[in-house]
Structure 1
């Protein structure tokens, strides 16, 4: 199973590292530089607001379905058409709550218009994730890998034409949203065809079954609560910034968005681990196979680069921000410097939380596969309360930096609690050697990072040398062992 995991992880990472960095740095960043921090902050706040009721679109069905179909492949054909009807009904419920919430917080006409398309996009995203959960559950990891980058590939093509093809006189943030709608719609059509063909089911033959809907909702409810709580503490920051800071809210939300972009990109890689691991864990637990070695392998492969990326981002935060973002039209040099300094401080803190997020993706996936939703929901509720409380305290004085502090504290608190619960439930043997290596690795990479800033080369060369030295250091202390990985790939 470790061999299957490594091979499919390699394909998934290669495809995503080919497509998504270009999307983030070539398209998404260019869009923000083109429209400006305030207009992008306007979009980013509404985008995150559309996420707040995302749970009503999914209701935990995707995670439940992935686990359930992985353990019971024969149920796919029976469940498929019913769940599609259920998701359409949930979309209608989502629209009621989303636009009710928008009316309650007094969104403007411009915000409502863009929210319409973002709400449709959220439905399309949830539908794609549901369809992909079937592919992963059936161990069709190669197909799922290609589907995972399809929407971004289409977005790159569409946005590239709009940005650089002289098709429009002035690029507006609305075009960015419309491009998302088009690319997601095409992806839904292609992925639906693949899944229906795999299930050997007639396309568009949908079933209405109230007892089935109630059964699925009842079984998915714990997953739904978990997704709701996690969405709130992961997405509420920019909404609170935009609402609490009045006229400056959109601007500070834009600063937070610019700093959050690289964390979001890094999270995509961690998310890929979870996508692969959930069906594998679910099947291994059902067959009562040992998962301890797979946990150690997957966590080591994720936490090692996470630590390097986090510390490198901290030491080179301002250089990275200045490389990614340009001065806007009408923006003074002093205002640009302030924006870059503030963004870099926020960015440095946010990237530190990547280590905690990576830990959570591994251990929460195991708890989900094992059905320990009660623990996860209690932890997530604690995280949500902590995050909102910290934001209420810190935002008025520290603005976007305060939100970053709230995120850092919340993510590490949740990660530590999850690790403790997993060790308690699964009775894993205490691997003191592994912990010792981690304790050496973190300050070692920090020392390498600090030393790299004193070198006489350009910051780009210093950064590359730091990452290379940190990678070699991980092998020197045998935190990562190329020989072990080769043996797993060759012999399993």
Structure 2
């Protein structure tokens, strides 16, 4: 299973490195630089607002289906029609709730056009993720990896034409960006459906209320997890706009930095999608999950520490280099946010194991604490520090939630604390911190020093034993006893 994980995560990373960096820095950044900060800040605020109600769209169906299908792959044709019908009904309910919530929030009438468009995109995104959960649940991990970049690939083509064609470039509006998302999400959903269609035999749509209620009953603990995670990771953008006089501009500044955090978090999100069916199958077969847990966390720790510390020490130069309105203040916002990436990455590993184990109640209690803590910190810090306060609140919340999950995994699975391994992790992090701080202080072209952080991260991982020559040789030889 470890070899399967490494091969698939390697393929996943390569595929995403070919597409997503170009989308983030070529398309998304260009959109933010083309429109005003307030205009993008409004889009960011409305997107976060619609995302707060994404629980209605999904209701835990994605994670429930991924876990359940990976353990009972023969049931795809039986469950798929009911799940699809349920998704349609939930989408209607989602739009109704969104309309009521927007009116209660007293959003002006001119906001509603974009709000509806983003709401439809959230429905389409939820549909794509559900369809992909069937692909990964069937064990087609490489196909799922390709589907994970299809939407972004299409966005590169569509937005590239809109942004760089002289006939349209000067008239580009944020609404065009939203329209492009709608178009590409529809195409991605059609492709994902075509992939799994061959496995659907003798299936028909039937409205069976009792059966739909049974699915909802089984999936609601997963839905609560998604809702609570969404609240404490997305409510900050909404609170910035609501609590500050110049809220849309501050939200725009926060969005510039948060977009880079979002890009980094895709790494953990993709690994979680790969790990969930693997953990579920191993738990079903009563196999030890610790070798895979150990391996995946080593990879995530090396990547998250290397990336977070590198971006932190070059934060101001990154923001001024990427954005027209980037400055030292927006760099500090990025600094706090990117440090939260370390904790978020750990959550993607330990939270995924808890999800695969069905430990939903205890995990939801942790997320409730995370929501309360995040809202209180935002109420305190945003009026005092503006967008910087929201970034600090995010960082603190993410670390509290992750460490609570680590302790919960230790208690449920009875894994004793490995002090030697913990020492390796800490020494590696300290070495990266000191090395990158030194590189950031050097005079010259900063970009070269920033890029040097990443091969240095790999070298330090070898020095402190997080990766060894023997492990690499055993992986290449095809043996599944790496001694991790």
Greater alpha carbon shift after TM alignment, 360-369 vs 166-175: 166-175
Distance 2:437 2:132 in 1: 42
Q: Which of 292, 300, 323 is residue 290 of structure 2 equivalent to?
A: 292
Alignment of 1:325-404 (within 5 A): 325-326=323-324, 336=325, 340-404=327-391
**What corresponds to 1:324 in structure 2?**
322
TM-score, structure 2 normalization? 0.97
1:392-441: CA deviations, max 9, x gaps?
Answer: 01111100000011001100000000001101110114322210101111
Shift of 1:465: 2.6
Question: Shift in Å at residue 483 of structure 1?
Answer: 3.5
Runs of 5+ consecutive residues of structure 2 not aligned to the other structure: none
Match of 1:419 among 373, 390, 406: 406
Q: Contact 1:66 / 1:134 at 8 angstroms: preserved in 2?
A: yes
Q: CA deviation at 1:460?
A: 1.2
Q: What residue number does 1:480 align with?
A: 467
Cα distance, 1:51 vs. partner? 0.2
1:13 is matched with 13
Structure 1 position 167, deviation (Å): 4.1
Q: CA–CA distance in 2 between the matches of 1:485 and 1:244? A: 52
Spell out the pairing of 1:114-153 with structure 2 (5 A cutoff): 114-153=114-153
Q: Distance in 1 between matches of 2:85 and 2:167?
A: 38
Consecutive unaligned residues of structure 1, counting only runs of 5 or more, are 327-335
Aligned equivalent of 1:405: 392
CA contact (8 A) 1:161 1:167 kept: no
* Moved >4 Å (runs of 4+): none
Residue 149 of structure 1: SS of its match in structure 2? helix
Per the alignment, residue 247 of structure 2 pairs with 249
CA distance in 2, matches of 1:460, 1:34: 23
1:81 aligns with 2:81: yes
Deviations 1:323-346 (A, max 9, x none): 1112xxxxxxxxx5xx51111001
Q: Distance in 1 between matches of 2:7 and 2:473?
A: 11
RMSD: 1.2
Q: Is the 8 A contact 2:77 2:199 kept in 1?
A: no
| Aligned positions, number | 478
Contact 1:47–1:118 (8 Å) recurs in 2: yes
How do 1:434-449 residues align onto structure 2 when only pairs under 5 Å count? 434-449=421-436
Partner of 2:479: 491
- Counterpart CA distance in 2 for 1:99 and 1:91 is 13
Number of the residue aligned with 1:305: 303
Q: Does 1:469 align with 2:467?
A: no
Structure 1 position 212 matched with structure 2 position 200? no
Q: Contact (CA 8 Å) 2:76, 2:199: kept in 1 or not?
A: no
